[in-house]
Amino acid sequence: MNKASFPTPAAITAVLMLLCLPAFARADSARSGAVQTPGATSPSTQPMRAPLPPNDFAGLNLTDEQKAEIDKIHREIESNKSVVAKDEKLTPDQKDAMLLGYTRMEYGRTFKVLTPEQQKEVRQRIQARKAADQSAQKRQPPPH
């Protein structure tokens, strides 16, 4: 194989971080509602772990081929995640960004394996979850 066709680790990190920016923005806006004591901890010492989304793929009637492909995707992504988790050169923020990026990649690749009908069902679940999240945020009292 030609090594020139493989992206550099720095390029991969940059792409994954760009993919993660919208998720971090949502996480930051969600956290802004919480009361923090000034000077308790600096933002750089707090891990930027976004909670995993609920399994929007649960309960779908998958074919054996789909199950095999999804399992293959999952194993590949988990292998990549374990490499990142063990990498001593990365800061915790970089690790979090890359792990979140891999999670998003897995989600996207899994979505592509689904039939159009299954994709529609997953989209409806996501919309329902987002609507529920928004209504829950509206019910919370504003911070003082």
* pLDDT of the residue at 12: 57
CB contact set of 52 (below 8 Å; sequence gap of 6+): 103
Written as tens digits, the pLDDT of the chain (144 aa) is 555 555 555 555 555 455 554 544 444 444 444 444 333 444 444 444 445 556 888 888 999 999 999 999 999 999 999 999 999 999 999 999 999 999 999 999 999 999 999 999 999 999 998 998 888 888 877 676
Please, what is the Cα angle at 27 between 47 and 93, to 5 degrees? 30
* pLDDT of the residue at 44: 44
